[in-house]
Chain A
Amino acid sequence: MTGILEYLGRLAEGLVLHTGRMGTMLFQAFMWLFVPPFKFRNLFRQMEFVGVKSMFVVILTGSFTGMVLALQSYNALRRFGAESLVGPTVALSMTRELGPVLTGLMVTGRAGSAMATELGTMRVTEQIDALAAMAVNPIKYLVTPRLLAGVLMLPVLTVIADFVGIVGGYVIGVRVLNINPGTFIGRIMDFVKVEDIFNGLIKSVFFGLILTLVACYNGYHASGGAEGVGRATTVTVVLSSVLILVFDYFLTSIMFSS
């Protein structure tokens, strides 16, 4: 019994400690945004890394998700004679839910893990100490541009995922399942509102922040050589993915409850 209580106590202590330290890192990174000198080269490099280099995987997953959504919803809707609603089903699923969530998960796997590995390696090889020794604040130099890149690029990637998802749904719906193209697009226009897209993009901003913060935090505090770096990467992918799904629920319940 005492063993269980001890375990739960340690779990709670760890949760409070890491949440607090992560919050402190976020606050520091935010404050450094406003402290000159501003070096945009670093930010652009991270934007390219998070955004441009994740484009291929996002396009691939987005288009196939749209395609499978069209197939599945067609099978279900056909039973009620509502095949015309395949377009809105695909579009709403993509813009509200799957666009931002899949983009968040894909970027976590590709860029978040790489960020944690890079910062973790820099930590265990004393490169982060070297930055501080050269009077360069590591949070400003390493963390702030990465968080900003995540927040700026995730909405862009989500728009792309939304678009290719709907195109994928259109191709399957119209070309394979013989839904009238006018009906497919017309019904999308009827059902999808600007706030559906906008709210999905707000979600993606949160997901961008979550995945880069978790990656930077775990990499920055990595210890114990190569094994520690590996652990930081694994924790980053698992924790970011879980947090994205948890936050997705709460953001959905807040934004779409009305």
Chain B
Amino acid sequence: MIEIVDLKKSFNGKKVLDGVNLKIERGKITVIIGRSGEGKSVLLKHIIGLLKPDSGSIYLDGIDITKLDEKELNRIRRRFGMLFQGSALFDSMTVEENVAFPLVEHTDLPMEEIRAVVREKLRLVGLVGVEKMMPADLSGGMKKRVALARAIAMDPEIVLFDEPTTGLDPIMSDAIARLILDTQRNLHTTYVVITHDIPLTYKIADCVAMLHQGKIIECGTVEEIRRTSNPVVRQFLEGRAEGPIKVA
């Protein structure tokens, strides 16, 4: 469904992505793991066209989205939903207005119908009666849920998750992991998750890819990744400070 070919990106002369190659399958949960600052978020922002690569391509059903202009890109973006690391809820709007936002902007549905969709999406992420609350009044976990409800409001084909459990306690992290699994099973959507949360990875991934020094160095199922002999991947999965990855 999504094929990333030899993607390169530098910022101020520093190579962040140095030839990323990855295939993301339709209807599966692909988890991209890697250390902080390895360019995982940069990769995700390329997939939805928020950043343009220096070279390389990203094919979505055969169309190279890196070559599209803003108008064509916006048509493609409607097939995506994205959950940002800090949730990125609009803090001047209520929860209901946040979730309704893509529907208000891109559909001609009457307000009553939009409200019904919002209620349904909020119910799907386990939130009831929060419609009139402001994002500032929500806990971190609730914000993530509202952001997920907004991301799936338009029934997208692909949902991108940028560190969905960062800043959450282990119990809330597990709740979010379940939510990701449940919504994916219900909606049969393609999920791409970037994280350095290994327990989350084991819980949700159909396919795991590790990004290291600007390249995908390992890709496979959870079992394959667990059995890998690659010392870099092993060190990361086991969370050891000693090994081929040097702590700066």
Task: Show the binding face of A for B, using Cβ within 8 Å.
Answer: 118, 121-122, 125-127, 129-130, 132-137
Contacts and interface: CB of A to CB of B under 8 A. Distances in A.
A99 to B, nearest CB: 32
A8 B86 CA distance: 39
A140 to B, nearest CB: 11
B48 A137 contact: no
Interface stretch (B74-82, B124-132, B186-194): B74-82
B45 interface: yes
B105 A132 contact: no
A133 B77 CA distance: 6
A137 B88 contact: no
B74 A135 contact: yes
Contacts of B220: none
Given A127-B90, A135-B102, 10 more contacts: A125-B91, A126-B84, A129-B50, A129-B84, A130-B90, A133-B50, A133-B84, A134-B101, A135-B78, A137-B74
Contacts of A125: 86, 88, 91
A130 B88 CA distance: 6
B88 A129 contact: yes
B77 A135 contact: yes
B146 to A, nearest CB: 12
Nearest to B105: A136
Contacts of B88: 125-127, 129-130
A129 B162 CA distance: 12
Interface centre among A126, A127, A129, A134 (most CB of B within 10 A): A134
Contacts of A126: 84-86, 88
B106 interface: yes
Nearest to A139: B70
Nearest to B73: A135
A133 B50 CA distance: 7
A65 B45 CA distance: 52
Interface string B202-222: 000000000000000000000
A127 B85 CA distance: 11
Contact of A133 (B48, B89, B90, B106): B48
A209 to B, nearest CB: 24
A220 to B, nearest CB: 14
A133 B46 CA distance: 11
Contacts of B70: 137
A122 B102 CA distance: 17
Given A129-B45, A129-B50, A134 B86 contact: no
A126 B90 CA distance: 10
A114 B89 CA distance: 19
Contacts of B85: 126
10 contacts: A122-B90, A125-B86, A125-B91, A127-B88, A130-B82, A130-B84, A132-B50, A133-B48, A135-B105, A136-B101
A104 B135 CA distance: 33
Contacts of B78: 135
Interface in B24-59: 45, 48, 50
Contacts of A136: 101-102, 105
Contacts of A127: 88-91
Nearest to A37: B105
A127 B91 CA distance: 9
Contacts of B91: 121, 125, 127
Kindly name the residue among A122, A127, A130 whose own CB sees the greatest number of chain B CB atoms within 10 A. Answer: A130
B155 to A, nearest CB: 13
A94 B40 CA distance: 57
Contacts of B92: 118
A130 B85 CA distance: 11
A201 B75 CA distance: 42
A37 to B, nearest CB: 8
Nearest to B79: A135
A134 B105 contact: yes
